[in-house]
């Protein structure tokens, strides 16, 4: 009985030893495999980092490839991209063109289906509706630039006070982000980040002038670059520039008040034919159908629209005074 007990203990100890050795070998193998993976991780990350821009670029190029190629041939892609960026929108050029095409087709289908008597006007209506996204971009751009222009004199005075207090010019640019609202805060924050990440200050300011195509911003960039090359009191120069911009705003307000009557007259004279045409379509459709179905009527309608647009452009040119 004792012999069997001893043999059982020996077998159990041997089995435990074998299991322990096997587990140690498995742990060593797992450690070696983990080390190999960790050693190869930087290389895989580098390969993935090198490959991801290509994948992203392929996805972007495949989205709206036909539209982007057409815009490239017409040299309009960069212009549209700049307009969208100046409007402060997070749109893509291809998606905006796809949206315009969708609105164009929707307008054409609505007129073609719901107004069969006026199918000849479907292309014009569709073109007008298709231009709505672009008109929205122009409107947002104009409002954003106008708001930036209103904030700009105060920002120049803030820069001058900050520099007199002992702050560097780059630090003053960063402080603008916290003291002012959009769009001025975002544009100057972007200029500071570009300069902080290694881009030369003159290049960052020139890119700011490209993103904000205002003559005041060009004056500011020219003044800063000139002071950087020749020296001088930049704070005093910024104060004088802010004073000049405020005086120009006052003169512009006076001119707008004087030319308001001319603008109102041009708008009324341009809207009268449209209102009369709509009323005639409602009261006497047979009379208006002549301008849609007859060849002579189409020529008369086209000539009237062209002369109306020409007259509006002339009136607007007369009452628009650049300062």
Summarize the confidence of residues 92-118 as an average pLDDT: 82
Quote the pLDDT of residue 66. 65
> Is a pLDDT exceeding 50 seen at residue 50?
no
Q: Which residue has the higher pLDDT, 263 or 55?
A: 263
Q: Which residue has the higher pLDDT, 225 or 58?
A: 225
Rounded Cα–Cα distance for residues 259 and 269 (Å): 16
Q: Which residue has the higher pLDDT, 99 or 26?
A: 99
Plot region of 255 (φ>0 → left; ψ -120 to 50 → alpha; else → beta): alpha
Summarize the confidence of residues 94-106 as an average pLDDT: 83
> Is a pLDDT exceeding 70 seen at residue 231?
yes
Summarize the confidence of residues 43-54 as an average pLDDT: 40
Half-sphere exposure of 94 (CA within 13 A, CB side): 13
> Is a pLDDT exceeding 80 seen at residue 85?
yes
Q: Which residue has the higher pLDDT, 54 or 108?
A: 108
> Is a pLDDT exceeding 60 seen at residue 23?
no
64, 95 Cβ separation under 8 angstroms: yes
Quote the pLDDT of residue 192. 85
The one-character DSSP state at 89 is: -
Rounded Cα–Cα distance for residues 275 and 281 (Å): 10
Quote the pLDDT of residue 262. 77
Q: List pLDDT tens digits, range 154-180.
A: 888 888 888 888 888 878 888 887 888
Q: List pLDDT tens digits, range 245-300.
A: 888 888 888 887 877 777 788 788 888 888 888 888 888 877 777 777 778 888 88
Above pLDDT 70, what percent of the chain?
A: 77
Quote the pLDDT of residue 20. 44
Quote the pLDDT of residue 149. 86
315, 262 Cβ separation under 8 angstroms: yes
Quote the pLDDT of residue 33. 52
Plot region of 200 (φ>0 → left; ψ -120 to 50 → alpha; else → beta): beta
Summarize the confidence of residues 210-222 as an average pLDDT: 86
Q: List pLDDT tens digits, range 235-254.
A: 888 888 888 888 888 888 88
Quote the pLDDT of residue 14. 45
Of the ranges 27-31, 65-69, 143-147, which one carries the lowest mean pLDDT score?
27-31
Quote the pLDDT of residue 42. 42
Q: Please state, rounded to an integer, the average pLDDT across all residues of the chain.
A: 75
Tokens of 322: 């650049």
């Amino acid at each position: 009985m004792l012999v069997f007990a001893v043999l059982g203990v020996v077998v159990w100890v041997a089995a435990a030893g074998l299991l322990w050795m096997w587990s140690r070998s498995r742990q060593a193998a797992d450690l070696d495999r983990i080390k190999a993976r960790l050693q190869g991780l930087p290389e895989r990350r580098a390969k993935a980092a090198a490959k991801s821009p290509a994948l992203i670029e392929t996805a972007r190029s495949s989205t709206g490839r036909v539209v982007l190629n057409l815009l490239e041939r017409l040299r309009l892609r960069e212009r549209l991209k700049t307009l969208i960026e100046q409007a402060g929108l997070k749109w893509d050029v291809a998606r905006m063109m796809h949206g315009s095409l969708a609105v164009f087709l929707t307008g054409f289908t609505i007129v073609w289906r719901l107004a069969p008597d006026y199918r000849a006007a479907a292309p014009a209506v569709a073109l007008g509706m298709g231009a709505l996204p672009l008109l929205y971009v122009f409107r947002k751009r104009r409002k954003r630039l106008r708001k930036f222009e209103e904030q700009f004199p105060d920002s120049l005075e803030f820069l001058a006070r900050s520099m007199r207090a002992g702050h560097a010019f780059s630090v003053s640019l960063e402080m603008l982000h916290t003291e002012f609202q959009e769009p001025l805060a975002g544009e100057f924050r972007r200029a500071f980040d570009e300069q902080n990440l290694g881009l030369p200050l003159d290049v960052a300011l020139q890119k700011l002038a490209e993103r904000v195509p205002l003559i005041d911003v060009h004056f500011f960039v020219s003044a800063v670059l000139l002071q950087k090359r020749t020296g001088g009191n930049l704070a005093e120069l910024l104060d004088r520039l802010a004073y000049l911009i405020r005086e120009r705003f006052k003169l512009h307000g006076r001119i707008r008040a004087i030319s308001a009557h001319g603008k109102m007259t041009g708008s009324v004279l341009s809207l009268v034919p449209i209102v009369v045409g709509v009323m005639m379509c409602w009261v006497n459709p047979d009379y208006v159908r002549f301008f849609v179905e007859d060849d002579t009527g189409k020529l008369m309608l086209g000539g009237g629209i062209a002369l109306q647009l020409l007259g509006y452009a002339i009136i607007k040119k007369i009452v628009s005074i650049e300062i």
